C-alpha cells in the first residue's frame, strides 16, 4: 500500500478540484487535503477563458496544499472527455514456444499494438484491456500465469489532444510541479464506480455535468466507446434565468427546487430566497422549462447511444452520474421514461463523499492510488 499521499487534479466543466490522499481501511480513503476553484469551464473542446485557467488551477493547488500541510510536487491530471478520443483494437503477440504469460508479455502486447506513437494531434495517455484471448479461444480478464503460445486481446486506447496536454503541462511547470501523469477522467469514473464483475457484463454510464455530458460504454478494464456533447445542468439554469428574467443565482436555486414529477397547477409555486425577501415562481412554468432542456439532453444521449458501433445487451441500465441533473427531483424516472431504459443514479460509495458530483474526483483518486500501489497499470 502506498504510504505517501497521492494528488489528483480534476478539471470539471465549472470547477477545478485538487485532492490529496491515500488508501484507508476497508478500501476507503484518507483525504489529507482538498482545494477547489470555480472557473468559466470549457465547451466544444475549448476553454472559455483560457487565460484564467492558470489562476484557477493555482488557487485549487494552493488551497489543497494549505489543507494538507505539504507541497504538491507530483500530480495526476484527469483529462475531461471532451479532450479525449477512445479507440479499440484487436491485437496479438506470438511466442516462440508455449510459456507462462507474464506482466512483461502483456506490456509487449500493449507496445506492439500502439500504432499511435507518431500521431500528429493526439497522444496515448492510457492503455487498458477490454479482455484478453488465449489461443484456445478463451476470454480472460488477467492472462498472467496462463501457459500459451499466443496472447490476443481487445485493447482500449485513450488519446488526449496534444493542445490540451501542452497547455496544462506549461501551467503545471509554472506552478513548480515537477512530475505529471494524465488519466482519462471517464475511464477513472468507470473503474471506480463499478466492480469488475459488473464491468465484465458492460456498463453504460452517462456523466451529465454543468456544461458538458459524457456518454460511455465500458467493459473489462477499458472504455469501448466515448462520446460527448456540450450541454448540462448549467443550460437549465440559463433557460430559467432567461425565460423568467431572473438572476443566474436565483435561477440556480429555483432549479434545485424543481420537482418534475409533480403535475403542478397554475396556482402552485416554488419559493426562492432573493437578497431581501422570498420570491414565488410558478411551479408549472418552472417544471416545463426544466423538462424542455432535459428533453434536449436526452435527445443527444439517445443519439450518442445510437452511434455506438459496439453491441451491448438491451437490459443493462443507463447509469447516471455527475452534478448537472442528478439532483433534480424526479429526474431518474423522467430519463427512464424518455429513454425507454431503466435508469440508475450512481455515486461513490464512500462515507461523507457519496454524491454524484464527486464521481470524477474520487474516481481519479482511487485509480491513481492503485497505480501508485502497483495494482493497476493503465499509463502509457
Q: Which stretches of the chain are assigned E, i.e. beta strand?
A: 6-11, 15-23, 29-38, 42-43, 46-47, 74-79, 84-100, 122-134, 139-140, 147-161, 179-184, 203-208, 213-219, 222-229, 269-273, 278-282, 318-321, 343-345
Q: How far apart are the first and last CA of the chain?
A: 22
Domain end, chosen from 108, 137, 160, is at: 160
Are residues 32 and 174 located together in one domain of the fold? yes
Are residues 61 and 36 located together in one domain of the fold? yes
What is the pLDDT at residue 3?
62
Are residues 57 and 119 located together in one domain of the fold? no
Quick check: is 207 in a domain?
yes
Are residues 206 and 322 located together in one domain of the fold? yes
What is the pLDDT at residue 349?
86
Are residues 218 and 335 located together in one domain of the fold? yes
Quick check: is 246 in a domain?
yes
In this prediction, the residues of the chain whose per-residue pLDDT falls under 70 are 1-3
Are residues 74 and 11 located together in one domain of the fold? yes
Q: Is 186 exposed, middle or buried (0-12, 13-18, 19+ CB in 10 A)?
A: buried
What is the pLDDT at residue 29?
87
Are residues 216 and 68 located together in one domain of the fold? no
What is the pLDDT at residue 1?
47
Question: Which three cell numbers, joined as nine digits, stand for 29?
Answer: 480513503
| Residue 10, domain extent | 6-82+162-192+349-372
Quick check: is 113 in a domain?
yes
CATH label of the domain that carries residue 66: 3.30.420.40
Tens digits of per-residue pLDDT, 86-109?
A: 999 999 999 999 999 999 999 999
Are residues 325 and 240 located together in one domain of the fold? no
Quick check: is 380 in a domain?
no
Residue 42 near residue 211, CB atoms below 8 Å: yes
DSSP string, 342-358: -EEE-----TT---GGG
Domains in the chain, number: 4
What is the pLDDT at residue 350?
84
Quick check: is 1 in a domain?
no
Are residues 258 and 119 located together in one domain of the fold? no
Quick check: is 378 in a domain?
no
Quick check: is 38 in a domain?
yes
Residue 30 near residue 24, CB atoms below 8 Å: yes
Are residues 45 and 182 located together in one domain of the fold? yes
Quick check: is 211 in a domain?
yes
Are residues 58 and 168 located together in one domain of the fold? yes
Amino acid at each position: 500500500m502506498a504510504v505517501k499521499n497521492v494528488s489528483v487534479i480534476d478539471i470539471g466543466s465549472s470547477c477545478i478540484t485538487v485532492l490529496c490522499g491515500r488508501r484507508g481501511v476497508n478500501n476507503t480513503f484518507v483525504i489529507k487535503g482538498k482545494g477547489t476553484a470555480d472557473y468559466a469551464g470549457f465547451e466544444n473542446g475549448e476553454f472559455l477563458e483560457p487565460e484564467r485557467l492558470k489562476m484557477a488551477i493555482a488557487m485549487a493547488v494552493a488551497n489543497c496544499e494549505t489543507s494538507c500541510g505539504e507541497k504538491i510536487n507530483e500530480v495526476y491530471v484527469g483529462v475531461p472527455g471532451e479532450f479525449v478520443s477512445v479507440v479499440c483494437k484487436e491485437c496479438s503477440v506470438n511466442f516462440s514456444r508455449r510459456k507462462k504469460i507474464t506482466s512483461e508479455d502483456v506490456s509487449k502486447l500493449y507496445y506492439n499494438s500502439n500504432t499511435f506513437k507518431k500521431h500528429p494531434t493526439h497522444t496515448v495517455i492510457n492503455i487498458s484491456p477490454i479482455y484478453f484471448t488465449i489461443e484456445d479461444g478463451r476470454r480472460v480478464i488477467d492472462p498472467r500465469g496462463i501457459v500459451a503460445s499466443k496472447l490476443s486481446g481487445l485493447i482500449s486506447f485513450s488519446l488526449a489532444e496534444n493542445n490540451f496536454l501542452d497547455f496544462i503541462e506549461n501551467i503545471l511547470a509554472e506552478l513548480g510541479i515537477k512530475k505529471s501523469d494524465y488519466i482519462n477522467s471517464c475511464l477513472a469514473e468507470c473503474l471506480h464506480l463499478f466492480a469488475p464483475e459488473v464491468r465484465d457484463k458492460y456498463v453504460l454510464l452517462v456523466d451529465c455535468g454543468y456544461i458538458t455530458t459524457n456518454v460511455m460504454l465500458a467493459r473489462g478494464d477499458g472504455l469501448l466507446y466515448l462520446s460527448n456533447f456540450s450541454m448540462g445542468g448549467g443550460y437549465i439554469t440559463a433557460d430559467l434565468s432567461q425565460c423568467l428574467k431572473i438572476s443566474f443565482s436565483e435561477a440556480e436555486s429555483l432549479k434545485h427546487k424543481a420537482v418534475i414529477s409533480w403535475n403542478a397547477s397554475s396556482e402552485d409555486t416554488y419559493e426562492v430566497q432573493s437578497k431581501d425577501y422570498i420570491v414565488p415562481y410558478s411551479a408549472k412554468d418552472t417544471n416545463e422549462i426544466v423538462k424542455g432542456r432535459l428533453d434536449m439532453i436526452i435527445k443527444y444521449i439517445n443519439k450518442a447511444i445510437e452511434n455506438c458501433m459496439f453491441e451491448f445487451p438491451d437490459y443493462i441500465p443507463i447509469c447516471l452520474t455527475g452534478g448537472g441533473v442528478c439532483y433534480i427531483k424526479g429526474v431518474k424516472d423522467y430519463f427512464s421514461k424518455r429513454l425507454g431504459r431503466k435508469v440508475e443514479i450512481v455515486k461513490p460509495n464512500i462515507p461523507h463523499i457519496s454524491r454524484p458530483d464527486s464521481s470524477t474526483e474520487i474516481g481519479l483518486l482511487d485509480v491513481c492510488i492503485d497505480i501508485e500501489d502497483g495494482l493497476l497499470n493503465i499509463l502509457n
